Amino acid sequence: MRPPASALAFDPALQARGPLLEQTAVYRGNALLLTGPARVGKAALAYAVAAQHNCTGGRGLYAEACGLCPSCHALRAGSHPDLLDVAPRETTASGRAARRKIIPIGAVLSSRDERREFEQHVFEFLEVRPTFHRRTIVVHGAEFLGPEAANALLKLVEEPPHGALFVFLAEDARSVLPTIASRSARLNVPPLGDAAIRAALSQAGHGADLTEFAAGRPGIVQQAPAVTAALERAETFSAALSSGMLAALEAAATLEKDWNEWQAETLRFSWRHQLPAARARLDTALTSLEEALEAYVNPGLSFMVFALEARAALED
């Protein structure tokens, strides 16, 4: 029986990652590359690895962290002194959403962070000895590492100060710079089974109706309220397309007002029962809308055009 103090008890989705944690527990290299689809749980696994390598308590069935020691408590509170997250810039200097994701060299070297976009920099972080056992740097979106940033990291990855561990996360290993990929041990993080997703939804207090949309991605569970609202808006918009021009335009205006990171995916999900040809035309219209929003084209006009093109896609 798994010890009750096991960290896996806190997260049903991680329970299915036991075999992966067995591998990471004995890993003594400098860098891991975790690959898998978006929202599949790569970050959760990376944090479990960080916990595992810093835990001061008893280990569980899969050599996972105990979940109860000071190190585990600090990690769960989001204040672990030996953990650094590095991620692509979300906004530009003007405050707009960044069109092109990139992890710049400023994330690595403070001297190159002219606008002070990063609170901590990798080099400075690694100058300090670990509070517990092993300093860990989790690089989200490793495929967005700029060449300068990747080159600056190479020496650190090859000879990390104080035996630090790098955990690179990427959706597609082929998009990661070869200099990083070749120095990392790769682990694929596959989607979970529906039973694990239903258990995670239940523990989080949600119904199982998101299981199909989740498609094995535990990250959906963490965002269940936002996803559910986006699905409702998508269904309302899709139904309005067949109710007349005015209804479609009104539904498009609602989409514009409440647009979030889930809306495009939930729209495509709501069209899953359409005929292939109609689905392809709807997807083309939605792709055009996404491109217009990324280019900062007038959003009101963009959503009106999207509604008209979506109606036409169903009428053809």
Q: What is the CATH number of the domain that holds 24?
A: 3.40.50.300
- Please state the domain count of the chain: 2
Quick one: 128 and 275 in the same domain?
no
State the pLDDT at residue 122: 94
Please, how many CA atoms are within 13 Å of residue 140, restricted to the half-sphere of its CB? 17
Q: What is the pTM of this model?
A: 0.84
Question: Is residue 215 included in any domain, yes or no?
Answer: no
Task: Please give the pLDDT value at position 3.
Answer: 33
| pLDDT value for 93 | 55
Q: Give, as one character, the DSSP assignment of residue 170.
A: E
- Domain match, 163 and 227 both: no
Does the residue 217 lie in any domain?
no
User: 148, 170, 190 — which closes off a domain?
Assistant: 190
Measured between its terminal Cα atoms, the distance across the chain in Å is 59
Residue 232: domain span? 223-315
- Predicted confidence pLDDT, tens digits, the chain (316 residues): 233 334 444 566 677 788 899 899 889 899 999 999 999 999 989 999 999 999 998 777 778 888 889 999 898 888 999 999 999 876 555 555 555 688 989 899 988 888 788 888 999 999 999 999 999 999 999 999 988 999 999 989 999 999 999 999 999 999 999 999 999 999 999 999 998 889 888 888 888 889 999 999 988 988 999 999 999 999 999 999 988 899 999 999 999 999 999 999 999 999 999 999 999 999 999 999 999 998 888 999 999 999 999 999 998 6
Same domain, 175 and 227: no
Together in a domain, 95 and 238: no
Residues 41 and 181 in one domain: yes
Look at residue 97 and give its three-state secondary structure. strand
**Final residue before a domain boundary, out of 165, 190, 215:** 190
235 in a domain, yes or no? Answer: yes
Q: Which pLDDT belongs to residue 291? A: 92
Classify residue 75: in a domain, yes or no: yes
In terms of domains, do 135 and 267 share one?
no
Q: Which token pair is 278? A: 């109609």
The answer to whether residue 142 sits within a structural domain is yes
Residue 138's H or E segment, with its range, is: strand 136-139
Asked if residue 166 is part of any domain, the answer here is yes
Of 46, 11, 10, which is closest to residue 189 (Cα–Cα)? Answer: 46
Same domain, yes or no: 186 and 232: no
Max alpha carbon distance in the chain (Å)?
65
Q: Do 159 and 231 reside in the same domain of the chain?
A: no
Residues 184 and 230 in one domain: no
**pLDDT given for residue 6 in this prediction:** 46
Q: Is residue 205 part of a domain?
A: no
Q: Are residues 66 and 159 in the same domain?
A: yes
Residue owning tokens 């710079």: 177
| Alpha-carbon distance values, 165 to 14, 50, 136, 206, 211 (Å) | 21, 8, 5, 35, 34
The DSSP string of the chain is ---TT-GGGG-HHHHTTHHHHHHHHT--SSEEEEE-STTSSHHHHHHHHHHHHH--S---TTS---S-SHHHHHHHTT--TTEEEE----B-TTSSBPSS--B-GGGT-GGG-TT---SS-HHHHHHSPPSSS--EEEESSGGGB-HHHHHHHHHHHHS-GGG-EEEEEES-GGGS-HHHHTTSEEEE-PPPPHHHHHHHHHHTT--GGGHHHHTT-THHHHTHHHHHHHHHHHHHHHHHTTS-HHHHHHHHHHHHHH--TTHHHHHHHHTTTS-HHHHHHHHHHHHHHHHHHHTT--HHHHHHHHHHHHHHHHH-
Cα–Cα distances in angstroms (integers) from residue 259 to residues 51, 74, 108, 112, 267, in the given order: 35, 34, 33, 35, 11
145 in the same domain as 23: yes
Assigned token pair, 33: 């590359």
